[in-house]
Amino acid sequence: MIMIYFVACYSTNLQEDPLSSIVVNSPYINDGGIFKDFLMQSTDHVLSLKSKLGDTSPSSMKTFNVDQYGAQGDGKTDDTKAFKKVWQVACSSKGSVVVLAQKNYLVKPITFSGPCKSKSIVVQISGSLVASDNPSDYKQDPTHWLMFDSVQKLSVKGGGTIHGNGNIWWQNSCKTNKKLPCKEAPTALTLYKCNNLVVEDLNVKNGQQIHVQFQNSANVRVSGLTVTAPEDSPNTDGIHVTNTQNIQISNSIIGTGDDCISIVNGTKNLKATDITCGPGHGISIGSLGEGGSKEFVSGITVNGAKLSRTTNGVRIKTWQGGSGSASNIKFQNIQMENVTNPIIIDQNYCDQQSPCQKQKSAVQIRNVLYQNIKGTSASDVAMQFNCSQNFPCQGILLQNIGLELEGGGEAKASCNNVKLSYRGNVSPSCNYIEEMHELGGFGKTHSMN
C-alpha cells in the first residue's frame, strides 16, 4: 500500500554517546570551556528534540483515496494532478488520512506546501513514487522533484520507495562528460522550512542529484533510511543538511556516488549514529567558504559508523578565501574498511578545473575530537591534516586511533599547520614539537608544520 495519512508525530528513544573523562579534562583545551561544555552537553539538543516530537493525537480524521482524485498508479500515466488535489484537500482538513493503492505512481515535479490546518501530518509511503525522466518537465524548477515546503509536524515514512530515475541527468553531467557545461539537477526529496519533522523507514534510490535534503528546518529526526545509487553517479549525496538545527540521523544505510552525509553552512547540533556508508565519498562537513563566503557549522557528532570502500572517511573540507568556522565536532566509534583518506581535514579544497589561487583568509577549524577510530586504509596516508598557514587547525584531539594499510602494513600521517594532542594509543601519528609556552607551561600542544 501507499498511504498518506494524518496522525501525530511521536517520540522515540534516542541513543546517547559516551563521554571520556580524559577528553573532558584534556589540558590542551584553552577556549574558556566552550569545547568542554559541548562534550558534556552534546545530548541536550537530542533530549530537547525528543520532547518536541512528543505525542499528540488529532481529535478527528478523514480518509481520502488518491485514486478517487484521478491517480492511475500504472507507472506510465502522469499522476501529478491527483497528488496536488489530494494534498490540497488533506492539508485543508484538521485531521486526514490519504490512502493510495499499492502501485507505482509516476509524478512530475511537485511541491506540497504548508502551512496546513492539520496539527500534524504523516505521509505513509508503502509503494513507489517514480520521477519523470524527461528533463523538460523540470523547466520551471530544475533543482527539485518532491518538495515539502513549510509543513510543520510532518512525518514521512512507511517502507516504500522514492525513485529518482536519475540516469539521464548522470549521463549529461559535466562530472561524467568534461565537455558538457555544469548544470544543476533536481534533488529527489527536499524538506524545506519543516520544523518538528520525522523522516523514517524509506528507500530512496537513483536520485537525479542529491537524494534527501534538509534545508532551513529545525527539530528533525531521521532514521531507517536506505539510500542507494551507482558508485559512479555524480553529485548524488545521500543526505544533505544545510541551515538546519537540532537534527538526529540514525540507523541508516547509504551508498551513492558522493558524500553519504554532507553537512554544510548553518548546520548546528547534528548527531549521526549507527550509519553504514559505502560506496561514496564518506561523511563530510563542507565544503565551506566557497567564493569568499562566511559560513558556520558547529555541534556535530558522528558516533557509531562503518565506512567501506569510500574515497574519504570522516572529512572536513573548506575553500581558501572563506571565513567563519567549523567547531565543536566529534567523530567517535568508527570502523574503516579499505577507506581512502580515513581521517582528513583539507583547508585547501579546490573542486574546479582551473587551479585555485592561494588566499590569506580561511574558515577556522577548531575543537575536533577523533575517538576510537579503527580499521584499514586504501592509501598510504591514513591521516591527513592539510590546514591553513594563516588559520591553522586548533584543538584537534586524537584518542585511541588504530589505522593500518589494507592488506597489512604501517600507514602514515601527514600534518601541516595543525595543533593537536594525543590520548591513548594513536597510530599512525605525526612527528611533533612540544611547545610548552603556548599554554603558559601547562600541558602540551603538538604543532605540525
Query: How sure is the predictor about 119, in pLDDT bands with cuts at 50, 70 and 90?
Result: confident
- The residue-averaged pLDDT of 405-425 equals 94
* Cα–Cα distance, 213 to 162 (Å, whole number): 13
Q: How far is CA 177 from CA 170, 171, 180, 186, 256, in A?
A: 9, 8, 6, 18, 19
Three cell numbers, residue 117: 490546518
Note the CATH architecture for domain 1-25+59-173+183-248.
3 Solenoid (2.160)
* Cα–Cα distance, 314 to 264 (Å, whole number): 14
Handedness of CA 192, 247, 319, 306 (dihedral sign): negative
| 3-class DSSP assignment, residue 438 | helix
Phi-psi region of 294 (alpha: psi -120 to 50; beta: other; left: phi over 0): beta
Query: How sure is the predictor about 123, in pLDDT bands with cuts at 50, 70 and 90?
Result: confident
* Cα–Cα distance, 219 to 276 (Å, whole number): 23
- The residue-averaged pLDDT of 344-372 equals 93
Q: What average pLDDT does the structure give for the chain?
A: 85
Taking the CA of residue 14 as centre, how many other CA atoms within 13 Å lie in the half-sphere pointing to its CB?
A: 27
Instruction: Report whether pLDDT(109) > 80.
Output: yes
Secondary structure string (H, E, C) spanning 39-57? HHHCCHHHHHHHHHCCCCC
Give the per-residue pLDDT at 65. 76
- When computed from its CA atoms, the radius of gyration of the chain, rounded to whole angstroms, is 23
Please state the φ and ψ torsions of residue 409, each to the nearest 5 degrees.
115, 165
**CB burial string 303-342: b at 16+ within 10 A, e below:** bbbbbbbbbbbbbbbbbbbbbbbbbbbbbbbbbbbbbbbb
- The residue-averaged pLDDT of 308-336 equals 98
Instruction: Report whether pLDDT(444) > 60.
Output: no
- Structure confidence by residue, pLDDT tens digits, 204-254: 999 999 999 999 999 999 999 999 999 999 999 999 999 999 999 999 999
**Residues in a beta bridge with 5:** 97, 122
Three cell numbers, residue 83: 497528488
**Residue 10 carries which side chain, given as an amino acid letter?**
Y
* 289 and 322 Cβ atoms separated by less than 8 Å: yes
- The residue-averaged pLDDT of 361-383 equals 98
- The residue-averaged pLDDT of 417-422 equals 93
Going by C-alpha positions, the residue among 321, 297, 378, 296 that lies closest to residue 344 is 378
| 3-class DSSP assignment, residue 23 | helix
Among 195-199, 367-371, 428-432, name the one with the lowest average pLDDT.
428-432
Instruction: Report whether pLDDT(313) > 90.
Output: yes
Instruction: Report whether pLDDT(147) > 50.
Output: yes
Percent pLDDT > 70 in the chain is 81
Going by C-alpha positions, the residue among 116, 20, 7 that lies closest to residue 370 is 20
* 278 and 250 Cβ atoms separated by less than 8 Å: no
Instruction: Report whether pLDDT(287) > 80.
Output: yes
Going by C-alpha positions, the residue among 8, 128, 148 that lies closest to residue 75 is 128
Active site residues: 281
- The residue-averaged pLDDT of 351-376 equals 93
Going by C-alpha positions, the residue among 104, 184, 116, 183 that lies closest to residue 144 is 184
* 318 and 289 Cβ atoms separated by less than 8 Å: yes
* 182 and 142 Cβ atoms separated by less than 8 Å: no
- Grid-cell match 590542551, residue found: 28
**Comparison of pLDDT for 233 and 356, the residue scoring more:** 233
> In this structure, are strands 2-5 and 96-100 parallel, antiparallel, or unpaired?
antiparallel
- Structure confidence by residue, pLDDT tens digits, 16-71: 333 333 343 333 333 445 455 555 555 455 445 655 665 434 445 567 777 889 99
> 10 Å Cβ neighbour count for 4?
24
| 3-class DSSP assignment, residue 113 | strand
Handedness of CA 70, 72, 78, 84 (dihedral sign): positive
> 10 Å Cβ neighbour count for 414?
16
